[in-house]
Chain A
């Protein structure tokens, strides 16, 4: 997948895994389909209320396709529930200035989300609800209304892993695993 289009949800720096999926939801096991869906409904529910809801009250899915963040997105826990819950809610990508190491790796291993890095601090120049086009081939995130475009960096070889649906699918498709 190269182009992702939709509404963006804007957050700031150091969005930690407790804000992405609060620990009391870790009783849900992501490999059980109905629990995965529930995890999605709770994605980003640990954010301060002032930032608004990523998944509306009572809904299972998010109206937002792309999360735009600042530095160190996904810091904290190794809980894979974090990228998985965002993906299960229906979002496809995060565009942030930098990522915490384990979160970034979990995005790739699960294939749940594209963790895209931006050079600019887009989170200061865009607002939740803006329509945007993320073109990973061209390396741009463009805000539809203003036409303003920001450069994003290529994910590199990890993109193929996410395209293929995560570590195991990729390993099979590329012949590493039977």
Chain B
């Protein structure tokens, strides 16, 4: 019996010829990612368990990206960044993206790809559930807690149960107006928020192959919202073009593909043409509705940002809608990284920069790159809900209180749908404007 992409990567990383779903194997990590929210706790455990002079297993394999609570006056948050900084210095970490310096980048899940830390066939662990994003590059990538992360930091290894794979095949071509976000919201709507628990979600088919890396990242990013251990897409020419342009160390890697006779837990096949712009209504990512079916619902604010929906192509999509139009509700823009923020002044649509389009449309001035209000955060966080707002957002979670206030509602949607809804002040199918 052949192996799936996920099984093959885990077999290789554990030195096994073959692994099966349910096997527990010790996996060698290629990258451990952590940030300001979980980094200090992870460091605390590393020192407690391995001694105060403990060293990380390989300083070239730690990627440290403070990104959550950066632009705040909260003293505890600032202390946590200092803790990260002191550790990075002590351990001489080459990949510490330090806030307040020219090396700062922003949101981890966009930083790792941009800075060349994502390569096909590798294994990434990260102290963040959306670590599954990097599966877009054909690697195994999953979120872990501080204790497991400290174990990886000290030993380079982690015990992993091999997940069975669920395959989602999209044949054809996605229609205009449908983005990666619509694809993953549809899948989560179909399988439910625990439909992928203990599984790998593998996305395949000609429509997926037709997507950019950033769109693939959006899809894999939200595998966790289906409960999955990892999301993954086989590498192809699009992947290699991106990876080879950025690969930080020129590190060698080997692409891995599912065997033709691999065994899947389940397979769902979609005709890409049938997908439509959609939303997940409050308070669950599986609360699927076609955008056109809820156009009577008003929104109080719009938010474009986060690892899921704060990339260059996300803002370009929003700008495509907002060009020459005015927003009807406060519209918050938070580029995921410094590179994305810089693109506001370089990427043009119809001869106008994104920055120009957003300003003309009446959006609030963009915030500096970070996770910002995607997960609420300290009281002074840009875009945080503090009352009973209804916020339509390109982010990934709409749990009660997720963006700050327990009384607020968060509606998840693509950048197209968020921008179209910002223009009208109600949930709006972006195809009306495209």
Contact = CB atoms under 8 A, between A and B. Distances in A.
Interface in B1-46: 37-38, 40-41, 44-45
Interface centre among B37, B147, B379 (most CB of A within 10 A): B147
A10 B147 CA distance: 28
B426 interface: no
Q: Provide the main secondary structure of the chain B interface.
A: loop
A29 B44 contact: yes
Given A24-B378, A26-B37, A14 B284 contact: yes
B52 to A, nearest CB: 13
Contacts of B128: 77-78
A9 B52 CA distance: 39
Contact of B76 (A14, A28, A47, A80): A28
A31 B44 contact: yes
Interface stretch (A86-94, A99-107, A113-121, A143-151): A99-107
A96 to B, nearest CB: 11
Interface stretch (B192-200, B238-246, B359-367): B192-200
B430 to A, nearest CB: 28
Nearest to A177: B49
B290 interface: no
Contacts of A79: 37-38, 145
B388 to A, nearest CB: 13
A101 B229 contact: yes
B41 A49 contact: no
Contacts of A138: none
Interface in A20-75: 22-24, 26-32, 46-49, 71-72, 75
Contacts of A26: 37, 68-69
Interface residues of B, number: 47
B402 interface: yes
B375 A23 contact: yes
A18 interface: yes
A105 B227 contact: no
A98 interface: yes
Interface centre among A49, A71, A80 (most CB of B within 10 A): A80
Contacts of B193: 14, 72, 75
Interface string B249-275: 000000000000000000000000000
Interface in B269-290: 284
A49 B406 contact: yes
8 contacts: A19-B401, A22-B376, A22-B401, A72-B193, A78-B143, A80-B38, A80-B147, A168-B147
Given A76-B129, A106-B145, 7 more contacts: A16-B400, A26-B68, A49-B406, A79-B38, A101-B197, A106-B148, A167-B148
